[in-house]
Amino acid sequence: MACSTSIVSNTLLSLLLIFSSLASFTNAKTHYRGFIIQETKVKRLCKTHNSITVNGQYPGPTLEVHDGDTLVIKVVNRGKYNVTIHWHGVRQIRTAWADGPEFITQCPIRPGKSYTYRFTISGQVGTLWWHAHSSWLRATVYGALIIRPKQGDSYPYPKPNRDSVIMLGEWWDANPIDVINEARRTGGGPNVSDAYTINGQPGDLYKCSSKDTIKVPVKSGETHLLRVINAALNQPLFFRIAKHKFTVVGADASYVKPFTTSVLMLGPGQTTDVLIKGDQTPGRYYIAARAYASAPIAPFDNTTTTAILEYKAAKNTSSKPIMPTLPAFNDTKTVTAFTTKFRSLGKPDVPKRIDEHLHITVGLGINKCPPNFKASQCQAPNRTRFTASMNNVSFVLPSKFSLLQAHHHGLSSVFTTDFPAKPPKKFDYTGNISRSLWQPIPGTKVYKLKYGSNVEVVLQNTNVFTSENHPIHLHGYDFYVMAEGFGNFNPKTDTAKFNLVDPPQRNTVGLPPNGWAVIRFVADNPGTWIMHCHLDVHIGWGLAMVFLVENGVGHLEKLEQPPKDLPVC
C-alpha cells in the first residue's frame, strides 16, 4: 500500500511539474517591433549632425521582455550605410542567424533592404542591450534590452520601488563613419570622442548641454534599481553617484551575490544592475562617468559626463548638485578591487573536466608600410599601420559570404579551421617584446568545437606596442570567469586561484593590462561565434577570432535553417 501511495504521489508531482512548465510556456509572449534605420538631425555640443538612428531616437528604443519571451524585430534600412543589429549577450540558442555581427552570421542589410530578427530569451534575467555591428554605426545605433523574470517569478532581492536605465555612450562632434574611415586611410589611431553621454546627453560640464542634462528622480527612503550599460565605442568608464553607494545585484543578465561599492567600472559591452537607496539628505547629486584609461601612451577623451539624481523634495530648487570624486584615469587598483568581487548567486554548474584547452594572446601590433603606400597612409609610429591580433592572427572579415552561410553550405574557400590553440611562439608576453614579434599574420581562421565540449580559454594580454584593459566579448555564450591576474599566466601556480564554486557568469570580461583572465563554457550552441575586443577600433584592426561549434545529434542540438529573408552579399 505504501508503495502504491508513493507511486501516486510521484505521478501527481510529475503532473504538477508538467502543468507548471506549460503554464510558464503559456505566459510567454511574442513581441513584434519595427526598427527603421534612418538619418536624424541630432544636436549636441552646439552643432547639429545627421546621425544614423533607430526610429529617429538617440539612444534607440528600450525593449522590455520577460525570460522566455520571443522577439520578432523587422529592421528596415533607410540609411545610407550597410547595417546589422546585434542583440548583445542574448544566447541565441540555435538561432545564430539572428546574432547580427556583419559577415560572421549574416551579410549586412543594404540600404533600402530589410531583415527580420527572430529569437527567444532563454534563462536570462537582468539587463542586456542591442547595437549596430557594422563599422562605427554603434556610436549612435544602440538601446537597452530589459529582461524581467518569468511571469510569477520574482527577483532574488527586495523588489525596488522603481528602476531606470543608465546608458553610457560616446559622442563625436563629427560623423563617426568619417572618423574611422580617415583612420583606415592613414593607418593611425582615430580621433578620440568629444564627449561621453548618459542616455544620449553629455550633461552640465559640456558646452550647450546643461538644459538637456538627464535627471533621475528618487524619493527619500525608496530603493531604486539602476541598469547601467556601457555603450561607449572605445572606452572603459568609471561610474559614481555623489554620496550614494551601490549594491551590485546583477551583471550581463546574470544574478550575482550582492556586494556594496561606491564606484563601478564597466568596459564597453558590459552591464551592471545596482540598487541605490534614497538615504541621503534630500537634494541634487551628480551621477558622473569618465574614462578608465589603462594604456599609458594612448590618447583618450578625458572629459566627464553627468546626470542628476534628484530627490523629489529638491525638484524645484536650483541648488548646484554635489559632484562625486572619480578615480584617477589610470587607477587599475580600484578596477581590480571591483572586478574581483563578482560571484555567481547560488552554485552554478561550472565545467570541471575540460576537453578543449586554449591559450590565446591578445594585443595590438603594427604592419610595415606597403611599398605602394604614401607616407600619409602609414601614420602609426615609425611609418607603420596599426593592427591587432589573437595568437598572432589578425582577423579578416570575409566579404562575399558570412562565415555562418559558408559553414552551412559547406563552402571551404571562405575560411580555414586552423586558428592556433596556443601562441605560435612562446615569449615574455608582458615584458619588453622584440619588434620582430609586432607584426601579425592576416587571416580568416576559425577554431572548431564539438557540440557539448567543455572549453577553457586562457586570455593573455600582451605588451606589444602597449598593454591596456581589453573588454573581450564572446557571442552566443555566457562564460564563467574562473580567475584573473597580472603578468604571464602560469598554469603551475595560477590554476590554484580558480574559483570552482561560484565564479561570475559574464558575456564580456575585462582583460587586465599586462595580465590574464581564464574563462570556461560548454559549447552547447551550434553556429559561428565571434570572440572579440569590444573596443571597436581594435575589432576593426583584427582583434578577434571565431569559434565554429558543430551541430549535435538531436533536433534540439542543431542550428535552425536560415531565414528566407537572410540578406545576401
- Which candidate, 555, 525, 551, places its Cα nearest to that of 407? 551
141 and 161 both lie in a single domain: no
Name the amino acid, one letter, at 441: I
Q: Is residue 149 part of a domain?
A: yes
Calpha distance 487→432 (Å, rounded): 12
Enumerate residues 6+ apart whose C-beta is below 8 A from 70: 28, 29, 30, 31, 118, 119, 120, 121
Place of cell 568619417: 178
Q: Could you tell me if 267 and 508 are in contact, meaning their C-beta atoms sit under 8 angstroms apart? A: yes
The conformational region for residue 400 under phi > 0 = left, psi -120 to 50 = alpha, else beta, is alpha
500 and 397 both lie in a single domain: yes
Calpha distance 239→265 (Å, rounded): 6
The pLDDT score that the predictor gives to residue 26 is 61
Q: Could you tell me if 260 and 288 are in contact, meaning their C-beta atoms sit under 8 angstroms apart? A: no
522 φ/ψ angles, rounded to the nearest 5 degrees: -100, 125
The pLDDT score that the predictor gives to residue 9 is 41
298 and 396 both lie in a single domain: no
How many Cα atoms occupy the beta-carbon half-sphere of 263 within 13 Å?
21
Q: How far is CA 66 from the centre of its chain?
A: 20
188 and 221 both lie in a single domain: yes
For the question of whether the overall pTM of this predicted structure is more than 0.85, the answer is yes
409 and 314 both lie in a single domain: no
- Considering 342, 367, 389, which residue would you say is the last residue of a domain? 342
Secondary structure (3-state) at 169: strand
The pLDDT score that the predictor gives to residue 434 is 87
Do the bridges between strand 85-88 and strand 246-251 make them parallel or antiparallel, or are there none, so unpaired? unpaired
The pLDDT score that the predictor gives to residue 315 is 75
Q: Is residue 501 part of a domain?
A: yes
Q: Is residue 569 part of a domain?
A: no
Q: Is residue 366 part of a domain?
A: yes
193 and 69 both lie in a single domain: no
Q: Which residues constitute the domain of residue 457? A: 356-557
Angle at 142 between CA 136 and CA 518, to 5 degrees: 80
315 and 435 both lie in a single domain: no
- Considering 153, 176, 210, which residue would you say is the last residue of a domain? 153
Q: Is residue 6 part of a domain?
A: no
The string over 258-276, giving b where at least 16 C-beta atoms fall within 10 Å of a residue's C-beta and e elsewhere, is beebebbbbbbbbbbbbbb
- Considering 121, 138, 153, which residue would you say is the last residue of a domain? 153
Secondary structure (3-state) at 338: helix
- Which candidate, 207, 271, 468, places its Cα nearest to that of 362? 468
475 and 513 both lie in a single domain: yes
CA distances to 167, 174, 231 from 139, rounded to whole Å, are: 12, 11, 8
Calpha distance 136→49 (Å, rounded): 15
Calpha distance 569→564 (Å, rounded): 14
Sign of the Cα pseudo-torsion (554, 556, 559, 562, in order): positive
pLDDT tens digit sequence for 456-493: 999 999 999 899 999 999 999 999 999 999 999 999 99
132 and 43 both lie in a single domain: yes
Calpha distance 460→564 (Å, rounded): 41
Calpha distance 406→404 (Å, rounded): 5
Enumerate residues 6+ apart whose C-beta is below 8 A from 64: 146, 148
**In terms of C-beta density within 10 A (0-12 exposed, 13-18 middle, 19 or more buried), how is residue 83 classed?**
buried
Secondary structure (3-state) at 29: coil
Enumerate residues 6+ apart whose C-beta is below 8 A from 232: 168, 169, 170, 193, 196, 268
Q: Where are the alpha helices (DSSP H) in 77-138?
A: none
335 and 408 both lie in a single domain: no
In which residue ranges of the chain is pLDDT below 70? 1-26
Q: Is residue 5 part of a domain?
A: no
Give the other-Cβ count within 10 Å of 417's Cβ: 12
pLDDT tens digit sequence for 140-178: 999 999 999 998 899 999 899 999 999 999 999 999 999
- Determine if the peptide bond prior to 504 is cis (ω within 30°): no
- DSSP 8-state secondary structure symbol assigned to residue 369: P
Enumerate residues 6+ apart whose C-beta is below 8 A from 534: 267, 268, 269, 471, 472, 473, 508
Q: Could you tell me if 438 and 432 are in contact, meaning their C-beta atoms sit under 8 angstroms apart? A: no
Calpha distance 546→259 (Å, rounded): 34
The pLDDT score that the predictor gives to residue 3 is 41
- Which candidate, 155, 145, 291, 124, places its Cα nearest to that of 225? 155
Angle at 391 between CA 388 and CA 396, to 5 degrees: 50
If residue 73 lies in a helix (H) or strand (E), which one and from where to where? strand 70-77
pLDDT tens digit sequence for 78-105: 999 999 999 999 999 999 999 999 999 9
Give the other-Cβ count within 10 Å of 328's Cβ: 11
The conformational region for residue 97 under phi > 0 = left, psi -120 to 50 = alpha, else beta, is alpha
- Write out the three cell numbers for 562: 536560415
If residue 176 lies in a helix (H) or strand (E), which one and from where to where? helix 176-186
Do the bridges between strand 446-449 and strand 544-549 make them parallel or antiparallel, or are there none, so unpaired? parallel
Q: Is residue 15 part of a domain?
A: no
Calpha distance 84→77 (Å, rounded): 9
Q: How many domains does the chain have?
A: 3
75 and 168 both lie in a single domain: no
The pLDDT score that the predictor gives to residue 217 is 96
- Which candidate, 277, 20, 238, 228, places its Cα nearest to that of 126? 228
Residue-level length of the chain: 569
- CATH number of the domain that residue 54 is part of: 2.60.40.420
Q: Is residue 110 part of a domain?
A: yes
117 and 188 both lie in a single domain: no
Sign of the Cα pseudo-torsion (318, 238, 331, 250, in order): positive
